[in-house]
Amino acid sequence: MPAGLFSQAIVHFADRGLPSFFITVPNPILTIIHKETTVPGLIGSKLTELNYTLDIRAPILGDPLPDDLTPYSGVLVFGGPMSVNDDEPYLKQEMAWIERVLAAKLPYLGICLGAQMLAKVLGANVMPHTAAIEEIGYYSVYATEQGKALFEPHMKVYQWHKDGFELPEGAVLLARGDHFPNQAFRWGDRAYGVQFHPEMTAEMVDFWTTQGADLLGGPHAQSREMQLAGQAKYSTAVERWLETFLKNWLAVAA
Protein backbone atom coordinates (compact mmCIF):
# COMPACT_ATOMS: atom_id res chain seq x y z
CA MET A 1 0.00 0.00 0.00
CA PRO A 2 1.40 3.43 -0.87
CA ALA A 3 2.68 5.50 2.01
CA GLY A 4 0.19 8.05 3.25
CA LEU A 5 -2.99 6.24 2.21
CA PHE A 6 -4.10 5.90 5.81
CA SER A 7 -3.47 9.62 6.37
CA GLN A 8 -6.70 10.40 4.50
CA ALA A 9 -8.46 10.21 7.89
CA ILE A 10 -7.42 10.32 11.52
CA VAL A 11 -8.86 7.11 12.92
CA HIS A 12 -8.36 4.72 15.81
CA PHE A 13 -8.24 0.98 15.22
CA ALA A 14 -9.73 -1.33 17.84
CA ASP A 15 -7.24 -3.54 19.66
CA ARG A 16 -8.17 -7.02 18.49
CA GLY A 17 -9.88 -8.90 21.29
CA LEU A 18 -10.73 -5.77 23.30
CA PRO A 19 -14.36 -4.93 22.52
CA SER A 20 -14.51 -2.24 25.25
CA PHE A 21 -11.65 -0.21 23.73
CA PHE A 22 -13.79 2.82 22.94
CA ILE A 23 -16.11 3.12 25.90
CA THR A 24 -14.25 6.22 27.16
CA VAL A 25 -13.86 7.83 23.71
CA PRO A 26 -16.49 10.42 22.76
CA ASN A 27 -18.83 9.75 19.84
CA PRO A 28 -17.45 6.41 18.60
CA ILE A 29 -18.68 5.02 15.29
CA LEU A 30 -18.36 1.23 15.04
CA THR A 31 -16.80 0.77 11.59
CA ILE A 32 -16.62 -2.57 9.77
CA ILE A 33 -14.14 -3.27 6.98
CA HIS A 34 -13.83 -6.39 4.80
CA LYS A 35 -10.24 -6.09 3.57
CA GLU A 36 -7.07 -5.32 5.48
CA THR A 37 -6.26 -2.57 2.97
CA THR A 38 -9.61 -0.77 3.35
CA VAL A 39 -9.37 2.81 4.60
CA PRO A 40 -12.27 5.13 5.51
CA GLY A 41 -11.04 7.89 3.22
CA LEU A 42 -13.21 10.96 2.94
CA ILE A 43 -15.90 9.53 5.21
CA GLY A 44 -13.33 9.09 7.97
CA SER A 45 -12.03 12.62 7.45
CA LYS A 46 -15.49 14.16 7.61
CA LEU A 47 -16.52 12.18 10.69
CA THR A 48 -13.31 13.21 12.43
CA GLU A 49 -14.05 16.85 11.61
CA LEU A 50 -17.48 16.35 13.17
CA ASN A 51 -15.80 15.06 16.38
CA TYR A 52 -16.53 11.37 15.88
CA THR A 53 -14.01 8.56 16.33
CA LEU A 54 -13.90 5.36 14.30
CA ASP A 55 -13.65 2.03 16.13
CA ILE A 56 -12.58 -0.11 13.17
CA ARG A 57 -13.25 -3.86 13.20
CA ALA A 58 -12.55 -6.51 10.55
CA PRO A 59 -14.66 -9.63 11.24
CA ILE A 60 -12.99 -11.34 8.28
CA LEU A 61 -9.72 -11.10 10.25
CA GLY A 62 -11.29 -12.37 13.46
CA ASP A 63 -12.18 -9.08 15.14
CA PRO A 64 -15.16 -9.38 17.51
CA LEU A 65 -18.27 -7.28 17.09
CA PRO A 66 -19.44 -5.76 20.38
CA ASP A 67 -22.41 -7.16 22.26
CA ASP A 68 -22.98 -3.83 23.99
CA LEU A 69 -24.00 -1.15 21.48
CA THR A 70 -24.82 1.56 24.01
CA PRO A 71 -21.44 3.38 23.78
CA TYR A 72 -21.77 3.89 20.02
CA SER A 73 -23.16 6.83 18.08
CA GLY A 74 -23.60 4.82 14.89
CA VAL A 75 -22.48 1.91 12.73
CA LEU A 76 -20.65 2.27 9.41
CA VAL A 77 -20.16 -0.77 7.16
CA PHE A 78 -17.83 -0.47 4.18
CA GLY A 79 -17.59 -2.55 1.00
CA GLY A 80 -15.51 -5.55 0.04
CA PRO A 81 -14.78 -7.95 -2.84
CA MET A 82 -17.06 -10.69 -1.54
CA SER A 83 -20.78 -11.19 -2.15
CA VAL A 84 -23.41 -11.21 0.57
CA ASN A 85 -24.50 -14.52 -0.96
CA ASP A 86 -21.15 -16.21 -0.24
CA ASP A 87 -21.40 -19.08 2.22
CA GLU A 88 -18.97 -17.62 4.75
CA PRO A 89 -19.59 -17.89 8.51
CA TYR A 90 -18.24 -14.40 9.23
CA LEU A 91 -20.71 -12.87 6.74
CA LYS A 92 -23.65 -14.67 8.34
CA GLN A 93 -22.48 -13.59 11.80
CA GLU A 94 -22.06 -10.01 10.64
CA MET A 95 -25.55 -9.87 9.14
CA ALA A 96 -27.04 -11.36 12.31
CA TRP A 97 -25.23 -8.61 14.22
CA ILE A 98 -26.65 -5.97 11.84
CA GLU A 99 -30.14 -7.20 12.77
CA ARG A 100 -29.30 -6.29 16.37
CA VAL A 101 -28.09 -2.85 15.28
CA LEU A 102 -31.42 -2.21 13.57
CA ALA A 103 -33.36 -3.49 16.58
CA ALA A 104 -31.38 -1.10 18.79
CA LYS A 105 -32.32 1.78 16.44
CA LEU A 106 -28.69 2.80 16.10
CA PRO A 107 -27.84 4.93 13.04
CA TYR A 108 -26.53 2.61 10.31
CA LEU A 109 -24.79 3.50 7.05
CA GLY A 110 -23.86 0.79 4.56
CA ILE A 111 -21.49 1.49 1.67
CA CYS A 112 -21.67 -0.85 -1.37
CA LEU A 113 -21.42 -4.31 0.27
CA GLY A 114 -22.66 -2.68 3.49
CA ALA A 115 -25.78 -1.50 1.64
CA GLN A 116 -26.29 -4.95 0.13
CA MET A 117 -25.97 -6.50 3.59
CA LEU A 118 -28.63 -4.13 4.90
CA ALA A 119 -30.93 -5.01 2.00
CA LYS A 120 -30.44 -8.75 2.52
CA VAL A 121 -31.00 -8.49 6.28
CA LEU A 122 -34.29 -6.74 5.47
CA GLY A 123 -35.36 -9.60 3.21
CA ALA A 124 -34.44 -8.25 -0.24
CA ASN A 125 -32.56 -10.16 -2.93
CA VAL A 126 -29.00 -9.25 -3.91
CA MET A 127 -27.83 -10.43 -7.32
CA PRO A 128 -25.70 -9.61 -10.38
CA HIS A 129 -27.12 -7.49 -13.20
CA THR A 130 -29.22 -9.54 -15.64
CA ALA A 131 -27.01 -8.30 -18.51
CA ALA A 132 -23.79 -9.01 -16.56
CA ILE A 133 -23.05 -5.26 -16.34
CA GLU A 134 -20.45 -4.14 -13.81
CA GLU A 135 -20.11 -0.52 -12.72
CA ILE A 136 -16.47 0.45 -12.19
CA GLY A 137 -15.76 4.17 -12.32
CA TYR A 138 -17.91 7.31 -12.16
CA TYR A 139 -21.62 6.97 -12.98
CA SER A 140 -24.73 9.09 -12.63
CA VAL A 141 -27.21 8.78 -9.79
CA TYR A 142 -30.45 10.73 -9.60
CA ALA A 143 -32.46 11.77 -6.56
CA THR A 144 -35.97 10.38 -6.34
CA GLU A 145 -38.83 12.58 -5.20
CA GLN A 146 -38.41 11.16 -1.68
CA GLY A 147 -34.64 11.66 -1.82
CA LYS A 148 -34.50 15.31 -2.84
CA ALA A 149 -33.84 16.50 0.70
CA LEU A 150 -30.69 14.35 0.94
CA PHE A 151 -29.41 14.02 -2.63
CA GLU A 152 -28.59 16.36 -5.47
CA PRO A 153 -30.89 15.97 -8.49
CA HIS A 154 -27.94 14.51 -10.42
CA MET A 155 -24.52 13.43 -9.14
CA LYS A 156 -21.55 11.56 -10.57
CA VAL A 157 -20.33 9.08 -7.97
CA TYR A 158 -17.70 6.35 -7.78
CA GLN A 159 -18.81 2.75 -8.20
CA TRP A 160 -17.10 -0.64 -8.05
CA HIS A 161 -19.61 -3.48 -8.02
CA LYS A 162 -21.33 -6.19 -10.03
CA ASP A 163 -24.16 -7.04 -7.62
CA GLY A 164 -27.21 -4.90 -7.02
CA PHE A 165 -30.06 -5.11 -4.55
CA GLU A 166 -33.82 -5.07 -4.66
CA LEU A 167 -35.53 -2.43 -2.57
CA PRO A 168 -36.49 -3.99 0.78
CA GLU A 169 -40.14 -3.98 1.79
CA GLY A 170 -40.91 -0.80 3.70
CA ALA A 171 -37.75 0.98 2.52
CA VAL A 172 -37.72 4.35 0.75
CA LEU A 173 -35.74 4.68 -2.49
CA LEU A 174 -33.65 7.86 -2.34
CA ALA A 175 -31.51 7.64 -5.49
CA ARG A 176 -31.60 5.63 -8.70
CA GLY A 177 -29.10 4.85 -11.45
CA ASP A 178 -29.04 4.06 -15.16
CA HIS A 179 -27.79 0.46 -14.93
CA PHE A 180 -28.68 -0.46 -11.35
CA PRO A 181 -31.97 1.22 -10.45
CA ASN A 182 -31.56 1.09 -6.66
CA GLN A 183 -28.62 3.28 -5.62
CA ALA A 184 -29.61 4.57 -2.18
CA PHE A 185 -32.37 3.82 0.29
CA ARG A 186 -33.53 4.48 3.82
CA TRP A 187 -35.20 2.04 6.16
CA GLY A 188 -36.92 3.63 9.13
CA ASP A 189 -35.36 6.94 10.05
CA ARG A 190 -31.84 5.74 10.96
CA ALA A 191 -30.66 3.06 8.51
CA TYR A 192 -29.23 4.03 5.11
CA GLY A 193 -27.58 2.11 2.30
CA VAL A 194 -25.75 3.55 -0.71
CA GLN A 195 -24.46 1.39 -3.56
CA PHE A 196 -21.66 3.81 -4.46
CA HIS A 197 -18.42 4.86 -2.74
CA PRO A 198 -18.47 8.48 -1.49
CA GLU A 199 -15.31 7.86 0.55
CA MET A 200 -12.95 7.88 -2.43
CA THR A 201 -9.91 10.15 -2.55
CA ALA A 202 -7.52 10.55 -5.49
CA GLU A 203 -5.01 8.33 -3.72
CA MET A 204 -7.63 5.63 -3.18
CA VAL A 205 -8.74 5.68 -6.84
CA ASP A 206 -5.09 5.37 -7.84
CA PHE A 207 -4.62 2.40 -5.49
CA TRP A 208 -7.85 0.62 -6.46
CA THR A 209 -7.25 0.95 -10.20
CA THR A 210 -3.70 -0.33 -9.79
CA GLN A 211 -4.59 -3.31 -7.60
CA GLY A 212 -7.73 -4.11 -9.62
CA ALA A 213 -6.35 -3.40 -13.09
CA ASP A 214 -7.39 -6.85 -14.35
CA LEU A 215 -11.05 -5.95 -13.75
CA LEU A 216 -11.06 -2.80 -15.87
CA GLY A 217 -11.70 -4.55 -19.19
CA GLY A 218 -15.26 -5.64 -18.48
CA PRO A 219 -18.50 -4.22 -19.90
CA HIS A 220 -19.08 -0.63 -18.71
CA ALA A 221 -15.86 -0.60 -16.65
CA GLN A 222 -14.01 2.67 -17.13
CA SER A 223 -10.29 2.87 -17.78
CA ARG A 224 -7.87 3.91 -15.05
CA GLU A 225 -7.32 7.23 -16.81
CA MET A 226 -11.07 7.91 -16.99
CA GLN A 227 -11.47 7.15 -13.29
CA LEU A 228 -8.63 9.43 -12.21
CA ALA A 229 -10.01 12.20 -14.41
CA GLY A 230 -13.47 11.61 -12.95
CA GLN A 231 -12.16 11.90 -9.42
CA ALA A 232 -10.54 15.24 -10.23
CA LYS A 233 -13.73 16.50 -11.87
CA TYR A 234 -16.42 15.28 -9.47
CA SER A 235 -14.75 14.99 -6.05
CA THR A 236 -15.53 18.53 -4.88
CA ALA A 237 -19.27 18.08 -5.42
CA VAL A 238 -19.24 14.64 -3.78
CA GLU A 239 -17.34 15.96 -0.76
CA ARG A 240 -19.79 18.83 -0.33
CA TRP A 241 -22.73 16.43 -0.53
CA LEU A 242 -21.10 13.91 1.83
CA GLU A 243 -20.56 16.41 4.63
CA THR A 244 -24.23 17.40 4.64
CA PHE A 245 -25.39 13.79 4.32
CA LEU A 246 -23.32 12.61 7.30
CA LYS A 247 -24.62 15.45 9.47
CA ASN A 248 -28.20 14.50 8.60
CA TRP A 249 -27.53 10.80 9.14
CA LEU A 250 -26.17 11.30 12.64
CA ALA A 251 -28.55 14.08 13.67
CA VAL A 252 -31.10 11.50 14.84
CA ALA A 253 -28.60 10.25 17.42
CA ALA A 254 -27.79 13.70 18.82
Strand partners, 31: 56, 76
Domain 5-251 bears CATH identifier 3.40.50.300: no
Predicted confidence band of residue 252 (pLDDT cuts 50, 70, 90): confident
Span 60-79, pLDDT tens digits: 999 999 999 999 999 999 99
> Could you tell me the residue ranges of all domains in the chain?
5-251
Residue 91 clears pLDDT 70, i.e. is over it: yes
CA torsion sign, 23 to 101 to 17 to 7?
negative
When pLDDT is averaged across residues 207-212 and rounded to a whole number, the result is 97
Span 157-170, pLDDT tens digits: 999 999 999 999 99
| pLDDT on residue 87 | 96
pTM: 0.91
Span 22-47, pLDDT tens digits: 445 679 999 999 999 999 999 999 99
